[in-house]
Amino acid sequence: MSWLMNQRLSRPLPILAALPILAALPILAALLCTGSALAAPAALAALSSQDAADGLHAALSKGIDTAVAQLGRPGGFLNDPKVAIPLPPALEKADRAMRMIGMSGEADNLHATMNHAAENAVAQAKPVFKQALHNMTLSDAKAILTGGDAAGTEYFRRATGAQLTQRFHPVVAAATARLRLAEEYDRVAGKAAQLGLINSKDANLDDYVTAKALDGLFSRMADEERAIRRNPLGQASSLIRKVFGSL
């Protein structure tokens, strides 16, 4: 057990190759808890290595599938106030003036286009997430099972963030390229960023939309993960109920 606790591994082990060791993870979770949580070790110890692995896989897969399905449909971003992508700060400030001079249509069109681009880009996420799930190591699994309410989501953000940015960006760029206002925004915002008037990360519209799309996707995944952890017995999957109900 001390070997496992110190994680003295010569290299990370894929989770599926480490099933015998994974059986100890729920017990570790119990040992890390205090108070009334210590009453659960018998149930945790009863989990088989296969159940522990399959339950974790099922829970994370459910979060991925739900987030991608909800946000990837028409209106998934645009009609959801929690994840809807607003106009960039510089444009939000100018929105009232634009409406006064008859440019409300362009601003509204840009807002809708940004969100629809995010909805289209989300489809690129599922294969990347599934590969990250396949590559998960023993250390990753331990951190997720014994971590906070969004530990699984945090793992995916670390493991996939850069790759998803590369995949999302061309989809977003193809959508905004058709809008005159988007090109004008990049020109003006770029100069404003050089003068320190706006944040440089908001100076390019495609970068801004890509980052907000990823924020929305991971936010929705975190919501699903929290729901599973807080109410494991309410889940349809018996494996999810068994594993997360024992933590």
206-236: per-residue pLDDT in tens? 999 999 999 999 999 999 999 998 988 888 8
Question: Mean pLDDT, to the nearest integer, of 194-199?
Answer: 65
Question: Mean pLDDT, to the nearest integer, of 112-136?
Answer: 94
User: Strands (DSSP E) along 97-174, which ranges?
Assistant: none
The answer to whether the pTM exceeds 0.85 is: no
**Average pLDDT across the chain, whole number:** 77
Max mean pLDDT among 9-13, 53-57, 131-135, 234-238 falls in 131-135
pLDDT at 11: 44
Question: Mean pLDDT, to the nearest integer, of 2-15?
Answer: 40
Please name the residue that has the structure tokens 């998803």: 164
> φ and ψ at 246, to 5 degrees?
-95, -10
Using alpha carbons, list the distances in angstroms from residue 154 to 7, 147, 172, 204, 231: 20, 10, 24, 26, 20
Question: Mean pLDDT, to the nearest integer, of 130-149?
Answer: 88
pLDDT at 35: 38
Dump pLDDT digits (tens) for 36-70. Answer: 343 344 554 556 667 777 888 899 999 999 999 99
> φ and ψ at 122, to 5 degrees?
-60, -30
> Where is 69: in which H helix or E strand?
helix 49-72
27-41 burial, b if ≥16 CB within 10 A, otherwise e?
A: bbbbbebeeeeeebb
Best CA proximity match to 126, nearest among 71, 203, 53: 71
The lowest-confidence range among 4-8, 93-97, 112-116, 165-169 is 4-8
Dump pLDDT digits (tens) for 81-98. Answer: 999 999 887 776 665 655
